Structure 1
Amino acid sequence: MKKVRRKVGKYEVGRTIGEGTFAKVKFARNTETGESAAIKVMSKSTILEHRMVEQIKREISIMKIVRHPNIVRLHEVLASQTKIYIILEFVMGGELYDKIVQQGKLSENESRRYFQQLIDAVAHCHSKGVYHRDLKPENLLLDAFGNLKVSDFGLSALTKQVPGLLHTTCGTPNYVAPEVLSNLGYDGAAADVWSCGVILFVLMAGYLPFEEPNLPALFERINAAAFKCPFWFSAGAETLLHKILDPNPKTRIRIEEIRRDPWFVRSYVPVKLGRDEEVNLDDVQAVFDDIKDKYVAENSETTEGGPLTMNAFEMITLSQGLNLSALFDRRQDYVKRQTRFVSRQPAKVIIASVGALAESMGLKVHCRSYKMRLEGASANKAGQFAVVLEVFEVAPSLFMVDVRKAAGDTLEYHKFYKNLCEKLSDIIWKPAVSVPNSGLLRQMTC
């Protein structure tokens, strides 16, 4: 069996850290600076087949325009003959969604801090004529210092390209504003403010303000703004939420008014922005052009062996700094959409065990080398549920299995992953003694 480690231009490409219908996001390292990055990889043929050229151009253009400390930064865009690579800032703290699930709900002070950073980022987008249209905790990342970063501008609108009212119905139903559902056109800024209000409610409550088992009932509740704040919300937070979750976009509070609200301004430190960087969008078209001298070098280094080896640098970034305990603590893992366990069983035994278990659960198994995709119908039969597993060698006779959701509901994934770990308990390694970080790092890189 061969091990392959790829390079794209100056970036060494590692494990997959996210996967969607049309793109994969991979961890990478800039070999010139040593800095980590995330690379969004898209096939040119897939983009053309699904007529997504304009959408991808728009996403790239928007990310070049909205440079802000609380927005994931786009470093550069590269292209090979077959693929487009969007090089992004690597945000190592995970999704805000995971933190909510793990803690149940956040304190009012912590919720306010994230909300202040969210409002700063959204205000900056609006000042550039950009409307996100899919704001939700899954699209809010946290950096190593706990600061919020807005991500995923795939559904965003740029008013220079779409003047006047917006008409595309998009976003996640529970977070979408009532006027977006009306098909009569809507103001992108007001719609984003509504989504920010839903996020604030979720941060403080630990559950959604609008939730029903079917879409017609959900839309009816959203249109009526039928929600109730739990008893632990302060009067100031509740007052602000009712101003934000106003079903009438014309009377809904605006961002400049939110920034003057007494509850909002408590401990508020506005972001200080430097001089606007000059943004050149001429290269956006170039990544789609068939000009060979613009192509980036794409190389694969192949060696004999088993699964791909994960080096110490990747281990450190994977574990949020030098605290490697999260890699081995089963209690921390299952709340995330990308999770992992460690085994001392041979890689082939791990793959065979997972495959047999998946088939017993009624899932289709697709296996290539040391990577598997498990597919089946979602629990509510409304779509597909899919999980991807990949085996990495982190030390001789020590393997890490990376598990991530590829399609389906996040809560359904949580249940699946917990069930998977329970049934694979005989192959999951649980260290009896906590090993100091420095020793564990040596063990993983020997």
Structure 2
Amino acid sequence: MSLSSENSACAGAAINELPEIVIDVKSEKEYKRGKFLGKLEEEIDIHKHLRHEHVVDFHSHFEDDTNVYIILELCSRQFLKEMQKCREKLTEAEVRYFLRQLLLACEYLVEEKVIHRDLKPENLLLTGDMKLKVADFGFATRVHNPGQLKKAICGTTNYMAPEILTKKGHSYEADVWSIGCI
């Protein structure tokens, strides 16, 4: 049986409609040490349930004997950090444009009872049409009860809220602090 050129064109069109993806490879050796494997499982569990225009899409994940593969939306532009490096500074209009999108993403995370805990320019990606997407939920956690405070010290020091550094307990406000640092 052979395919006609008409059928081939249809198959080609279907292939071109597949989403562009990136595969984040996590070495299982690094994560098999105690709590780190649980943290990777939590990252996957949190991210796979998030659906928002300003959060990187989670497509699926799988593992083999050595690695865990997380299949994510490809953000074909650069990290916001790289954009800042290339251009000495962003215009006020650009800052407002990106800040609005980041705030919408964070508002959604609060609705989903998720604290990101590592918001920084390297975790803010840009799509081909310059939409901001929050990425990397490796330090993210869920808030299970209203008023619950988390005690873990995590994130990137330059963007960490004082309550994280002082171990006083933190919640969603830690992400607000990080936004101010960005």
Does structure 1 conserve the Cα–Cα contact (< 8 Å) formed by 2:19 and 2:73? no
**Partner of residue 176 from structure 1, selected from 160, 173, 177:** 160
After TM superposition, the score normalised by the length of structure 1 is 0.36
Higher relative contact order (CA 8 A, sep 6+): 2
After TM superposition, the score normalised by the length of structure 2 is 0.85
1:178 maps to amino acid: P
The Cα of 1:66 is off from its aligned counterpart by 1.8
2:86 maps to amino acid: Q
The Cα of 1:154 is off from its aligned counterpart by 0.4
**Partner of residue 91 from structure 1, selected from 65, 75, 81:** 75
1:97 maps to amino acid: K
Per-residue CA deviations over 1:278-306 (Å, capped at 9, x if unaligned) read xxxxxxxxxxxxxxxxxxxxxxxxxxxxx
Does structure 2 conserve the Cα–Cα contact (< 8 Å) formed by 1:132 and 1:155? yes
Report the counterpart of residue 130 of structure 1 in structure 2: 114
Per-residue CA deviations over 1:4-51 (Å, capped at 9, x if unaligned) read xxxxxxxxxxxxxxxxxxxxxxxxxxx695442111122334321364
Report the structure, 1 or 2, having the larger strand content: 1
Runs of 4 or more, structure 1, over 4 Å off, are 31-34
Report the counterpart of residue 157 of structure 1 in structure 2: 141
The Cα of 1:130 is off from its aligned counterpart by 0.3
Structure 2 CA distance for partners of 1:182 and 1:81, relative to 1, 3 Å? closer
The Cα of 1:157 is off from its aligned counterpart by 1.1
The Cα of 1:183 is off from its aligned counterpart by 1.3
Report the counterpart of residue 126 of structure 2 in structure 1: 142
State the alpha-carbon separation in 2 of the partners of residues 160 and 106 from structure 1. Answer: 38
For residues 93-242 of structure 1, the aligned pairs below 5 Å read 93-160=77-144, 164-186=148-170, 188-199=171-182
State the alpha-carbon separation in 1 of the partners of residues 132 and 181 from structure 2. Answer: 16
Other structure's SS at 2:69 match: strand
Report the structure, 1 or 2, having the larger helix content: 2
The Cα of 1:101 is off from its aligned counterpart by 1.0
CA radius of gyration, larger in:
1
Per-residue CA deviations over 1:230-251 (Å, capped at 9, x if unaligned) read xxxxxxxxxxxxxxxxxxxxxx
Other structure's SS at 1:49 match: coil
CA RMSD of aligned residues (A): 2.2
User: How many residues are treated as equivalent by the alignment?
Assistant: 169
2:124 maps to amino acid: L
The Cα of 1:178 is off from its aligned counterpart by 1.6
Structure 1 residue ranges without an equivalent (≥5): 1-30, 200-446
2:38 maps to amino acid: E
State the alpha-carbon separation in 2 of the partners of residues 64 and 156 from structure 1. Answer: 12
Other structure's SS at 1:56 match: helix
Does structure 2 conserve the Cα–Cα contact (< 8 Å) formed by 1:65 and 1:128? no
1:146 maps to amino acid: M
State the alpha-carbon separation in 2 of the partners of residues 190 and 151 from structure 1. Answer: 19
**Partner of residue 49 from structure 1, selected from 33, 56, 59:** 33
1:196 maps to amino acid: I
